[in-house]
Structure formats: structure tokens, C-alpha cells
Amino acid sequence: MFPITAVFAAVFTIMFIKLAFNVIQLRRQHKVVLGDGGIDELTKAMRAHGNFAEYVPIGLVLMACLEGNAAPFWLLISLGVILWLGRLLHARGMHDTPPNFRQRVGGMQLTFASLGLLAASNVIWLACRNWPN
């Protein structure tokens, strides 16, 4: 029913699992059962995973809404790629040692841009489709 959103959801799920495995690997390495154990590297991995979990779902919901309202595929793909690039840059920036602040900031800028554009696109698309002739 929502093939474009489904593909992006699958890609984001793979990224989410990778970020979770990073946390699991560091927990095992440092023998931390709960929390971050005061290990900065684990804190970074946990926040990269958490940040991903905080922003991606709303992006996918907005994409599904836009796709469900028959928006053009190029618009969905473009906005999905911007969100994907934002999440990729942010995760890489968090993972680098020392953290790459430019990638983190760039990733968040792309993430916010994609979410803002998705929200605006939903409103504009619906307004234009339903505007009285």
C-alpha cells in the first residue's frame, strides 16, 4: 500500500539494528549491564541509537501520510533520502573518535530540514489537492 515508505522503513530498520548492535557490543566489552557505566564511548553509542529512535518514526509517519495522499514519488524519494542522509551523518559523527561535530550538526540540520519539508509538503499537498476549482 505504501511501497516507497516501506522501502525507507526497511533501510531505517537496518540502520537502527546496526546502532543497537554498537551499544550491545560496547556493553559486552565493558561489562555494563545497565546504563552507560560512565563509559563515554557507550554513552555516545546509546545517544546515537536513542536519537535515531526519536526522529525517524515521525519522518516515516509523515512519509506514509504523504504517500497515502498520492504525492509524487520523486517528492517522497527526495525527502526520504534527505532524512536518510541526515541520520547517517549524525550517526557517523557520533561514532567517530573524537566525535565529528560537523557531521553531527550537518546530520541534525538535514534531519530537521527533511521533517520540516515533510510536514509542509503534507499540508501544501492536501491544500492543493482539495482546493476548490
Q: Which residue has the cell 539494528?
A: 17
Of 118, 113, 132, the residue nearest 69 (C-alpha):
118
Once rounded to an integer, what is the mean pLDDT over residues 7-14?
98
> How is the chain split into domains, by residue range?
3-127
Q: What is the pLDDT of residues 92-109, one digit of tens each?
A: 998 887 878 899 999 999
pLDDT in tens, 32-51: 989 889 899 999 999 999 99
Alpha-carbon gap, residue 79 to 130, rounded angstroms: 22
Q: Residue range 17-28: average pLDDT?
A: 96
CB 33 within 8 A of CB 18: no
Cα–Cα distance measured from residue 3 to residue 104, given in angstroms and rounded to the nearest whole number = 30
Q: What own/partner pairs with CB < 8 Å and gap ≥ 24 does 127-132 have?
A: 129/69, 129/70
CATH of 3-127, one of 1.20.120.550, 3.40.50.150, 3.30.360.10, 3.40.630.30: 1.20.120.550
